């Protein structure tokens, strides 16, 4: 029980009992020794009981700074947020009480249907996003009831004792109890990229955040070493939590949504000008003030694409499902956009460019002669048992143990002590006792490193090694020296060695890797290789697969460059070889510093730092838990072709969203401009407010299928970004073309059919709905529609269905109520001719517009520089809860 864990005595006060549940601020905990902190928290080094942890969780809430709970009222509120819509509704209510009851009811019903349609689509999309968040688990290893167990990070409470491991994101503010070589990357809090060494000694109570050396802080990354600590603060009470909550509890907006807001400002400006002008014109013509106001507001609502948020949300939600079918799992919807934005991919070589099935080929002595001595020595220095079991996942050791007769070679040998491999030393060593009782120190590792530790290296070794590397082999060098009485191994012991030979392995290029690289190149993605292998081997694989030539940097080169120099060198390099985990992270940060969108694909513990540093961290289903936890997206197959599918999907979503925007800005703007002109020329309103809203509702409904549309290959070749200047030019070019045909329709209705107000409105309603709906087939592609670019079946069916409904309305039983009258058959002949000529003219205008220099060579958008707030948002998504935060 909890009582058996909590200390008794003076600490058991009301204030301390509150500390037990709520915790202690990290700055206060850092000024106290570890045992005092445990006492304040009512915990011990054995942690809490499960029951006590549950009680504290219920008392203070989850360890979360984001909520992904969908609230229907919040979604509904966003549909009602439009000031124009509310003004129109208010005007309709006033109209109702002044006797225009039928029109007022019709306006109210249409507005209600529009809001309901937007709510239904956006709510469904948000539910999909919630389900996506709920599927993702971020866990921590905690001591409860006396033994280690994994729990969700959101279930941590003050007093929990947690284990901290390399590459992990620290799950809460923690006062360290034990640590070995522990360093934390605290850049997400302090902006400083240099890792901070940690120890157990208390610090001054006035220490700055970066000086809390006895604490590991929530949201920072375990850069080196490991340890245990007691949780002192969670959620919004943690240092990171306070910063994250300052940016809001909801998940951050995607760049899609930010661009949408900027686009909406443009439309509001246009709507304000049109609305004011139309209202003034109608007032000056002495038309009823209320009718003029309703008409003006309806025009403003008509020009704003109310369902655009629903289109974006629906696109992202549908995109996550399509990605899952393509074997790409994203943890958050924003990851789809990040995938599409990626223009540099940094990846390991093994398993992505190669088969990942390493096979042992032969053992050679320094002169290049085959022999078994190097095999035996290599087996003795493996990290598992000498029978080949429990190899710790080292693929080279596994391949070596699969050599014929390997298990028999080690008979009579006993490993006494070992020094495991690490990426800084690039060596592993063992002291073994031979059958005659003597001891031998065996060291193996990267040949370049092993040779520097050897005395009197034979002259034949260098050409033998160069030949093996040039052939694309992976090579491990083995060296020995007398073990004497060694019972422990220090790094200083790994000197004065005698080169025994080389172990030769092969990992052939992956079938299909060359095609995958070509696909990524077609998507405008530059691939760079980060590998622990020899540079010559990496270059050979790249050459075999046709990867474009570039320079090669080794880990030593990377370490010798400052950040500015590295950014320049990394941009030119294709291969980074013999690099450490920190080198990988520095390379990613250097590439990101130039404004490029960088993805990193890795599957090992040593990749975690780079995965956190990238704009989009990508891992694979077979990766280590630390790597999968650090990643933003997980591939169910370690295949660059699968990744290319994900990138294309991200870009497809944006391309389809832009189709909706361009269509709305051209046809909607044209129709509303026509309404303004007609108000000046006609003695009656060219279309009733209710008819304008009905037209807008039908049009928007038909475009909800745009997320299903096909996208031309050329639209996927590079990341796309919102370009408000381009949208404005498009609107000013194509809008007048739409207006031209509206005015032709006016002439047809007045000059040929001598239409009165009701017939005129009926004709323009049908023509405007047909032209603004069907124009999507021209605007959706820069190619020739239908012949060289076919729309999706749902988009085709929905668009034609909306046009058919619009044609049928003047003949329906509701025609009188809606203010329509049946149209003469000759009108439809004229309508068909107008639509055909309109679409032909749009096609010609499109060709002219996209061949102009301003369209074919647009100003290169500024390189994306994501600020500190973005990094906070991205890290905060790990601490997300489906319910309220308190």
Strands laid side by side in the 526-531 sheet = 328-330, 633-635, 616-620, 598-601, 344-347, 526-531, 573-577, 551-554
What does the angle CA 347 – CA 353 – CA 354 come to, to the nearest 5 degrees? 125
Q: In 664-808, which residue ranges form alpha helices assigned H by DSSP?
A: 669-681, 689-703, 724-747, 757-774, 776-779, 793-808
Residue 40: how many other CB atoms lie within 10 Å: 24
Closest CA to 768 of 290, 299, 295: 299
Instruction: Assess whether 603 carries a catalytic annotation.
Output: no
Q: Which helix (H) or strand (E) holds 271?
A: helix 255-284
Instruction: Find out whether 510 and 353 touch, Cβ atoms under 8 Å.
Output: yes
Annotated active-site residue in 348, 639, 645, 700: 348
Q: State the Cα–Cα distance between residues 234 and 238, nearest whole angstrom.
A: 5
Non-local (6+) Cβ contacts of 185 within 8 A are 193, 195, 196, 220, 221, 223, 585, 609, 612
What does the angle CA 144 – CA 150 – CA 156 come to, to the nearest 5 degrees? 65
Non-local (6+) Cβ contacts of 273 within 8 A are none
Q: Exposed, middle or buried by CB within 10 Å (0-12, 13-18, 19+), for 863?
A: exposed
Q: What is the DSSP letter of 305?
A: -
Residue 80: how many other CB atoms lie within 10 Å: 13
How would you classify the pairing of strands 526-531 and 573-577? parallel
* CA distance between the termini of the chain: 26
Closest CA to 757 of 833, 697, 679, 700: 679
Q: State the Cα–Cα distance between residues 306 and 645, nearest whole angstrom.
A: 31
Structure tokens at 662: 């361009």
Q: What is the DSSP letter of 287?
A: -
Cα torsion angle, 176, 181, 182, 184, sign: positive
Q: State the Cα–Cα distance between residues 797 and 767, nearest whole angstrom.
A: 19
How would you classify the pairing of strands 344-347 and 526-531? parallel
Q: State the Cα–Cα distance between residues 433 and 441, nearest whole angstrom.
A: 9
Residue 755: how many other CB atoms lie within 10 Å: 21
Across the strands, what pairs with 178?
A: 228
Q: Which long-range contacts (CB under 8 A, 24 or more apart) does 5-10 make?
A: 5/42, 5/43, 5/44, 5/46, 5/47, 5/48, 5/49, 5/52, 6/42, 6/43, 7/38, 7/39, 7/42, 7/44
In order, the DSSP letters of 39-97 are HHHT--TT-B-HHHHHHHHHHH--S-SEE----HHHHHHHHT--HHHHHHHHHHHHHHH
Look at phi and psi of residue 290 and say left if phi exceeds 0, alpha if psi is from -120 to 50, else beta: alpha
Instruction: Find out whether 533 and 353 touch, Cβ atoms under 8 Å.
Output: no
Non-local (6+) Cβ contacts of 848 within 8 A are none
Give the number of residues written for the chain. Answer: 886
Which residues carry out catalysis? 348
């Amino acid at each position: 029980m909890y009582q058996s864990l909590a200390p008794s005595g003076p600490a058991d006060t009301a204030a301390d009992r509150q500390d037990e549940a709520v915790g202690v601020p990290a700055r206060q905990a850092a000024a106290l020794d570890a045992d005092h902190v445990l006492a304040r928290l009512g915990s011990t080094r054995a942690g809490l009981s499960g029951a006590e942890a549950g009680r504290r969780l219920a008392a203070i809430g989850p360890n979360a700074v984001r909520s992904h709970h969908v609230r229907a009222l919040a979604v509904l509120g966003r549909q009602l947020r439009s000031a124009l819509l509310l003004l129109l509704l208010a005007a309709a209510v006033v109209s109702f009480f002044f006797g225009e009851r039928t029109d007022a009811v019709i306006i109210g019903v249409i507005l209600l249907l529009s809001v309901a349609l937007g709510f239904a689509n956006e709510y469904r999309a948000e539910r999909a996003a919630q389900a996506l968040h709920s599927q993702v688990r971020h866990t921590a290893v905690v001591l409860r009831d006396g033994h280690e167990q994994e729990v969700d990070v959101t279930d941590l409470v003050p007093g929990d004792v947690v284990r901290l491991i390399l590459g992990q994101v620290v799950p809460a503010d923690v006062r360290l109890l034990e640590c070995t070589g522990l360093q934390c990357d605290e850049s997400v809090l302090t902006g400083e990229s240099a890792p901070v060494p940690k120890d157990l000694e208390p610090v001054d109570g006035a220490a700055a955040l970066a000086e809390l050396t006895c604490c590991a802080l929530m949201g920072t990354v375990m850069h080196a070493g490991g340890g245990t600590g007691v949780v002192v603060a969670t959620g919004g009470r943690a240092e990171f939590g306070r910063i994250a909550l300052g940016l809001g509890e909801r998940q951050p907006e995607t760049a899609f949504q930010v661009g949408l807001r900027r686009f909406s400002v443009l439309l509001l400006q246009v709507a304000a000008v049109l609305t004011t002008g139309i209202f003034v014109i109608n007032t000056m013509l002495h038309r009823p003030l209320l009718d003029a106001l309703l008409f003006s507001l309806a025009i403003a609502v008509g020009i704003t694409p109310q369902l655009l948020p629903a289109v974006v949300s629906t696109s992202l939600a549908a995109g996550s499902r399509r990605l899952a079918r393509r074997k790409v799992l994203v943890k958050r919807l924003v990851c789809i956009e990040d995938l599409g934005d990626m223009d540099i991919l940094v990846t390991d070589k093994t398993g992505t460019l190669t088969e990942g099935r390493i096979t042992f080929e032969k053992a050679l002595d320094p002169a290049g002669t085959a022999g078994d001595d190097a095999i035996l020595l290599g087996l003795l220095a493996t990290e598992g048992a000498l029978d080949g079991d429990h190899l710790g996942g080292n693929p080279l050791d596994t391949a070596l143990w699969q050599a014929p007769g390997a298990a028999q070679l080690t008979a009579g040998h006993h490993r006494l002590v070992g020094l495991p491999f690490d990426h800084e030393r690039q060596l592993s060593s063992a002291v073994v006792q031979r059958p005659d009782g003597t001891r031998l120190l065996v060291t193996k590792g990267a040949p370049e490193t092993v040779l520097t530790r050897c005395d009197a290296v034979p002259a034949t070794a260098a050409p033998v090694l160069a030949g093996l590397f040039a052939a694309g082999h992976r090579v491990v060098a083995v060296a020995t020296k007398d073990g004497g009485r060694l019972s422990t191994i220090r790094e200083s012991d790994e000197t004065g060695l005698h080169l025994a030979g080389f172990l030769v392995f092969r990992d052939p290029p992956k079938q299909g890797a060359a095609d995958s690289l070509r696909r990524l190149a077609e998507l405008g993605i530059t691939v760079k290789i980060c590998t622990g292998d020899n540079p010559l081997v990496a270059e050979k694989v790249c050459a075999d697969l046709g990867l474009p030539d570039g320079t090669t940097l080794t880990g030593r080169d990377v370490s010798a460059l400052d950040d500015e120099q590295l950014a320049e060198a990394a941009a030119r390099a294709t291969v980074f070889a013999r690099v450490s985990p920190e080198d990988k992270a520095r390379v990613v940060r250097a590439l990101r510093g130039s404004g490029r969108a960088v993805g990193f694909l890795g599957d090992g513990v040593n990749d975690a730092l780079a995965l956190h540093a990238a704009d989009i961290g990508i891992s694979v289903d077979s990766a280590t838990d630390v790597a999968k936890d650090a990643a933003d997206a997980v591939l169910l197959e370690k295949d660059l072709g699968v990744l290319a599918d994900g990138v294309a999907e991200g870009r497809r979503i944006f391309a389809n969203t832009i189709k909706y925007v361009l269509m709305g800005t051209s046809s909607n703007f044209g129709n509303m401009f026509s309404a303004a002109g007609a108000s000046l020329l006609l003695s009656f309103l060219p279309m009733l407010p209710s008819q304008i809203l009905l037209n807008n509702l039908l049009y928007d409904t038909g475009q909800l299928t745009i997320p299903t549309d096909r996208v031309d290959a050329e639209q996927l070749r590079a990341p796309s970004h919102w370009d408000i200047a381009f949208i404005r030019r498009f609107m000013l070019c194509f809008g007048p073309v739409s207006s031209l045909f509206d005015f032709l329709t006016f002439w047809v209705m007045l000059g040929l059919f001598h239409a009165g107000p009701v017939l005129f409105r009926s004709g323009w309603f049908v023509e405007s709905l047909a032209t603004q709906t069907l124009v999507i087939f021209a605007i959706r592609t820069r190619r020739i529609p239908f012949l060289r670019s076919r729309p999706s079946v749902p988009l085709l069916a929905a668009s034609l269905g909306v046009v058919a409904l619009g044609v049928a309305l003047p003949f329906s039983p509701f025609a009188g109520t809606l203010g329509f009258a049946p149209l003469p058959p000759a009108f439809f002949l004229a309508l068909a001719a107008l639509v055909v000529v309109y679409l032909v003219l749009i096609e010609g205008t499109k060709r002219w517009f996209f061949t102009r220099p301003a369209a074919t060579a647009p100003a290169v958008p500024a390189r994306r520089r994501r600020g500190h707030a973005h990094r906070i948002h991205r890290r905060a998504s790990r601490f997300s809860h489906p319910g309220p935060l308190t």
